[in-house]
A and B are shown apart, each in its own frame.
Chain A
Amino acid sequence: GDSVTQMEGPVTLSEEAFLTINCTYTATGYPSLFWYVQYPGEGLQLLLKATKADDKGSNKGFEATYRKETTSFHLEKGSVQVSDSAVYFCALSGSGGSYIPTFGRGTSLIVHP
């Protein structure tokens, strides 16, 4: 079946540091790929998406590129802020025609001033 693997957290950074959160996947067909962010006590919010190979999703300084050859969708940001502290989830959907998305376990990011 489909799966999404994210790097384990927590990831702890100082403000203005460079962020990478790794995400790799296995899936049938050509799924869409997503990054979601969850702040404490809230639901998940879509951060960015990519629907086909080599697409780059971007939002609020975050970027991720859909790499079919390496089955990866790593999240990056050039300079993190304290307000970026949250849990980040990588996910895929549409694989093999399924309506059921597959989520990674989430990576907690803690940014210190």
Chain B
Amino acid sequence: ETGVTQSPTHLIKTRGQQVTLRCSSQSGHNTVSWYQQALGQGPQFIFQYYREEENGRGNFPPRFSGLQFPNYSSELNVNALELDDSALYLCASNHLPRGLAGERNEQFFGPGTRLTVL
């Protein structure tokens, strides 16, 4: 059983550019959540995808968008990059029963993608 993987590991972009980050969920998981973690801060919830549809969103602007594919892998896209977008982007997967978050539903996190915006 493979865990959550993310690519790339590190990325450097310039202000105004667009970036796509990728996440492969753990085998058997149908839900992917994305988090942004600025240096010295706790992770902040961006959004969650459940069975290819957005299933909740945090306080992030529309230039943060995502996709989930039939194999439950996911992409995070950020348009018009700003300096403050520099952060560690974490992907987490878990399995949700239809329509409910459930009690435990431990989220399994990947190692993250470190994005630097210059």
Are A and B genuine complex partners? no
